Structure 1
Amino acid sequence: MSALAGVALEHPVMNAAGTCKSVEEVDSFARSAVAAIVVGSITRQPRTGNTGNVYWPGRVYSINALGLPNRGLAYYGEHLPGMVERAHEAGKPLIVSVAGFDVGEYQEIAEVVADAGVDLVELNLACPNVWDGGAQKRIACFDPGQTAAICTAVGDALLARAGGDQAGRVPYGVKISPFSDPAALAELAAVLAELAGRPGGPRFVTAVNTFPNALVVDADHRPVVDVELAGMSGPALKPVGLGQVRQLRRLLPDTVDIVGVGGVGEGRDVAEYLRAGAAAVQAATAFWNRGEDPSVFGSILASWIDAGGIDPVDSAIR
């Protein structure tokens, strides 16, 4: 068995945010091999996302500029309890990724999500291609002050809704972008570590989201996605993701778990992230490149078992 922020997982393989947004998709993932179902990211208002071609699969990387498409908080406030029930019937925790355009939005969405009975909340502080009012939004995790403000507001709100009971509140974590400056990563980690020492602090960090503002052109030198710049993911991101996980594990207290993301497509990737210090992993590119078929997670899990991972008979780590 594995665990994330105190929530038991049958094994460490999950889908990443962006792959599951609706009731129907939760049903599909509930029948898959994922250990937990990650829904979202969700925002206060419904978003159609970016228009035109928003995804391009390459051989060793992919790029996407989805723009946070989702049905908005009213939809999730109504349907999340049913999503939770469906996930739990399948023996899987339900995690919701939330994204706001200011501190108040993060808090509001997290409160609604927690009241729906979800198991974990993931604050997406790392979405690299969100436009609002004609301007590209700043990536929140690159601003330690903004990160601290969001985490404090969400943590205090979730703790208050649990009547001040630290053990009874819904745990939350943050998803961050790749950092090329180790000093900046250490600064963020120091903020998260300090917050983790308080009641209501973050319990996990998901590392990493896509590498921002990548450009791929076709044979005619035209961008392959219509908004031109996009987030890069897939196998090429794996060394970066592994490096971020290793650094974070050294920088953060043991009370903060780490979820490794970036290039997870087979059992060896899972094993390497766990050895680097991750408690669990997430995958998205492998899912999209298989035509959005959740059976890919069964393939990843089986490959990890074959490589010496979890024993399906007694669930013991070999």
Structure 2
Amino acid sequence: MSGLCGVSLEHPIMNAAGTCKTAEDVETFARSAVSMIVVGSITREPRSGNSGNVYWPGRVYSLNALGLPNRGLDYYAAHLPGMVRRAHRAGKPLTVSVAGFGVDEYREISAVVARTGVDLIELNLACPNIWDGGTQKRIACFDPGHTATICTAVGDTLVAQAGADPARRVPYGVKISPFSDPSALVELATVIDEVAARPGGPRFVTAVNTFPNAFAVDDAHRPVVDVELAGMSGPALKPVGLGQVRQLRRLLPESVDIIGVGGVTGGRDVADYLLAGATAVQAATAFWNRAEDPAVFGAILSDWIDHTDPAVP
């Protein structure tokens, strides 16, 4: 039995945001081997996401430009309590990934979500696939000041909402993009450290989201994803994810947990992320590349147990 931000986990393997969006999805994941169900990312307004082909399953990497498809805050306000109950009946905590298009949206969505009984909130500050009028929106985590403002607003709201009982406060964390500039990662970690030291500060960092703006063509030289630029994930991202986790573990206090993401397809990947300093891991590409079969999480778990069992050669 392990734990994340004080929430008990049967083991460290979770689904990543983007794989579970509806009450029906939660029902499916409740029967899977994941230790915690991650729902979202969700936005204030419903989103259909990007049109056309938005996913390409490569052999050593995949590309996706989903564009945050989800049913919007009103749907989740109505259905999340039931999703939480279903997850808890299966012995699984539930996290909701939140994506806003401004500080007020992150604050509003988090406040609504916190009232539904969820166990954790993950602020998605890293989605690279959002377009508006032909212009790609900036990735929030690359602006440390903006990250601090979002975290402060969300943290203050959750503290006020919990009132005099800190035990009622829903812990939250942030999901970030890969940073190729080590100085920029230090700057972001410094901001997270400073905000985490305050009441209602972030309790975990999810590292990492997809590598932004990758591009590939098929044999006919056509883009494999219709919006052309997409986030890269899968096994090729694993060394990057491991490096980010390793650096963050050295930069952040032990009170801030780290969730490793990127290329988790088997037990060795889980073991490597834990060795690098992660408390838990998430996987998405393995799920999508197996025709969205949640049994893949059971396969990863069994393989991880084999890697950690000294009786298995």
Q: Which TM-score band applies after superposition, normalised by the shorter structure?
A: over 0.9
What's the secondary structure of 1:107's corresponding residue?
helix
> 1:11–1:310: 8 Å Cα contact kept in structure 2?
no
1:51 aligned to 2:51?
Answer: yes
Aligned to 1:216: 216
> 1:166–1:199: 8 Å Cα contact kept in structure 2?
no
TM value normalised by structure 2: 0.98
TM-aligned CA distance change 1:136 to 1:164, over 3 Å: farther
Cα distance in 1 between the residues matched to 2:193 and 2:143? 15
1:39-77 deviations in whole A, cap 9, x for unaligned? 000000000000000000011000000000000000000
* Higher deviation after alignment, 158-167 or 73-82: 158-167
Amino acid at match of 1:209: N
Q: Flag structure 2 segments of 5+ consecutive residues without an equivalent.
A: none
Aligned to 2:166: 166
1:117-139 deviations in whole A, cap 9, x for unaligned? 00000000000111134321100
TM-aligned CA distance change 1:61 to 1:309, over 3 Å: farther
How far residue 298 of structure 1 moved from its aligned partner, in angstroms, is: 0.2
Cα distance in 2 between the residues matched to 1:217 and 1:135? 22
How far residue 222 of structure 1 moved from its aligned partner, in angstroms, is: 1.0
> 1:166–1:200: 8 Å Cα contact kept in structure 2?
no
- Aligned pairs for 1:57-206 (under 5 A) are 57-206=57-206
Cα distance in 1 between the residues matched to 2:259 and 2:309? 17
* Higher deviation after alignment, 125-134 or 136-145: 125-134
What's the secondary structure of 1:40's corresponding residue?
strand
Aligned to 2:22: 22
Aligned to 1:316: none
What's the secondary structure of 2:249's corresponding residue?
helix
Cα distance in 2 between the residues matched to 1:281 and 1:309? 19
Amino acid at match of 1:28: T
Q: Flag structure 1 segments of 5+ consecutive residues without an equivalent.
A: 312-318
> 1:207–1:245: 8 Å Cα contact kept in structure 2?
yes
* Higher deviation after alignment, 128-137 or 200-209: 128-137
Cα distance in 2 between the residues matched to 1:308 and 1:23? 34
TM-aligned CA distance change 1:248 to 1:164, over 3 Å: farther
What's the secondary structure of 1:307's corresponding residue?
helix
How far residue 220 of structure 1 moved from its aligned partner, in angstroms, is: 1.9
Cα distance in 1 between the residues matched to 2:252 and 2:260? 14
> 1:32–1:298: 8 Å Cα contact kept in structure 2?
yes
What fraction of aligned residue pairs are identical, expressed as a percent?
Answer: 78
Q: CA RMSD in A?
A: 1.1
1:144-194 deviations in whole A, cap 9, x for unaligned? 010001000000000101004333300000000000000000000000000
Number of aligned residue pairs: give it. Answer: 311
How far residue 310 of structure 1 moved from its aligned partner, in angstroms, is: 11
How far residue 219 of structure 1 moved from its aligned partner, in angstroms, is: 1.4
Amino acid at match of 1:38: V
Cα distance in 2 between the residues matched to 1:21 and 1:240? 27
How far residue 309 of structure 1 moved from its aligned partner, in angstroms, is: 5.6
1:89-118 deviations in whole A, cap 9, x for unaligned? 000000000000000000000001000000
> 1:50–1:65: 8 Å Cα contact kept in structure 2?
yes
